[in-house]
Structure formats: C-alpha cells, structure tokens
Amino acid sequence: MPEGHSVHRLARQFGDVFTGERLAVSSPQGRFVQGAALLDGHTVTGADAHGKHLFLEFEHGLLLHVHLGLYGAWDFGGDATFRGASSIGAPRKVGEREIYDDGSVARPARYEGPPAPVGAVRVRLASAHGWADLRGATTCQTLTEAEAAAVRARLGPDPLRNLPGDREAFIAGILARRTPLAALLMDQKAIAGVGNVYRAELLFRQGLDPWLPGKALSAEVAGRLWDDTVAMMSDGVRDGRIITTPPRYWGGEGAAGGDAGGSARNGLPAAVDSHFVYRRQGLDCRDCGTPVALTELGARKLYWCPACQVP
C-alpha cells in the first residue's frame, strides 16, 4: 500500500498539472459514473493529501477523494508541458512503486488527447494537456467540502502536514494508549500516513520494542518518534522512495533490494541499501549482527532486531 509520502507526491503532481484546468471526468470502467458526472467539466482549484487520502479540489465545493489501498495506482500522460511521474501507486504483485518521467521519453509536439483506456479504469481525468487514469483504488468518491472535512476529522495528525499542535496531539494520543507501538503507528487515527515500511524503520531507528505499550513511553521519547517520522517521511517526498539508512550503509549486501521503483534520481544512486530491517528477515542487523526477526501483528508483517529493540 502506498504510504503517506507517495500520496503527498501525488497531490503535488496533481496540483502542478491540473490546477486551473477544466477537466473532462469519466469512468471508463463504469463504477464511478455518477461521481464522475458531478465533476465533469469543472475546474480544479487545488490538491491536498492527509495521510494516505488524496483530495482533488474542484470549483463549486466538490472534491474527488481517493484512497489507493493495496492495489490502487494512478497513471499519467500528456504533452511536453505535462511533467512528473508517469505512474504512482501499488499495482497488484508489484508493491509500492513510482515510475518517474525524467524527460527521456519523447512527448508529442501536438497533443491529440488521451489514448483508449486500458484495463479497469475507475476514473479518467483529462485536460487540454494531459490525462490521469485511476485503477484498483479502495476508495474513489465525490464529496462535498463538509463530507471531506468529516473524513479528515477521523484521521490522526499527518507528519507531512505537521501543523501547529500536531506533535502535541500525537504525544498525548500515544501516551494514553496501552496498545503496542507497532500497532499504534499503523493506526491512522493515531498518526496518518505511516505504513508497514515506515513503521518498521522508525521503531528500529528509535531503538523501540514493537510490543512496548504507548503509555510506557515518556513524552520526550514520543516526541523524538514524531520528529523522526517527520524527517523520514519528508525525505520520502523529496526522493520519491523510502530510504531510511544513511549513505555509509549503501552499496553492500542487498543493495538492489530497496523499495520498488528505485531508478537513480534526486542525486541518489540506483542501488541503495534502503532499509535497516524491513524485508531483511534472517539477515544480520546492520548495527549489531543479530538476525532480523519477522512475525505478524494485525495481519501485517513486522520486522525488528531482537537485540537493538529491547524494552
């Protein structure tokens, strides 16, 4: 499932290529016909993300709300002015990915409109310069501003928004719960946007036992956990991939085994030892040499170092 940094990158891309554009909105698959009709012919006024939820804002107070879920992905195309990623999402059996348009693909000098839809396209957005197709999303709906506000109200603070009071709200929420930290970090009501990769890497970087109850933390430790989440996810927005290790760990064992979509960009080499523990079960911990452990918690895989992450 795409984590919060990917959805914020989607919001930025939508804002760049569609803001101020009047869109033709359709549902080639047929499952979003009524919602598409409400948006068709209207102008995009902005794009925003809260955690894993994307909100594309249209005039007259309507929004397209999308949660990609496990298998959702957006594909993009258009003329020379339509730049950015050509695909962001989590296609089935591929895992989270971003395919970046680095300018090497020739763009048509004259835009003739989007190609014929391929596969089950839930919604198509088309402007005078380009198009975006959505497939496989868990949620795709047209909302009013009040309905969108209700969705946001159910979510916890987003580290990538990091609004005044968010850090304090996170700390208070964590310290009030007996739930294990590994479960709290995946609870979108406690913190919005963190997924399985960030969960494992954050707990390792902070040396925290995944089963430690939230209320067992001090406010200082919980604050450091929030600060590291802000820093790590902000790096993900910048890089377009999740890299949680510093450069001294890069280039050795498992160098090609980072998160999907890792072509060289933003100054990063193509092969990077991206993670400390995620998907490294049975391999030596990069810090202490103890084999990385794997179990399940809440029907999701949990990776940790039994030596480095002790109560």
Distance CA 8, CA 31 (A): 25
Q: In what order do the strands lie in the sheet with 85-89?
A: 24-26, 123-126, 130-135, 73-78, 85-89, 97-100
Q: Which residue out of 9, 52, 205, 280 is catalytically annotated?
A: 52
H/E segment holding residue 73: strand 73-78
DSSP lists the bridge partners of residue 50 as 53
Going from the C-alpha of 178 to that of each of 76, 183, 252, 275, the distances in angstroms are: 43, 10, 39, 28
In the residue annotation, 178 being an active-site residue is answered as no
Q: Which residue out of 3, 57, 96, 98 is catalytically annotated?
A: 3
Number of CB atoms found within 10 A of residue 311's CB: 7
Q: Which residue out of 2, 28, 157, 159 is catalytically annotated?
A: 2
In the residue annotation, 291 being an active-site residue is answered as no
Q: What angle do CA 182, 186, 187 make, to 5 degrees?
A: 115
Distance CA 225, CA 185 (A): 10
CA-based end-to-end distance of the chain: 29
Distance CA 152, CA 218 (A): 28
In the residue annotation, 300 being an active-site residue is answered as yes
In the residue annotation, 164 being an active-site residue is answered as no
Contact 253, 283 (CB under 8 A): yes
So which residues are the catalytic ones?
2-3, 52, 300
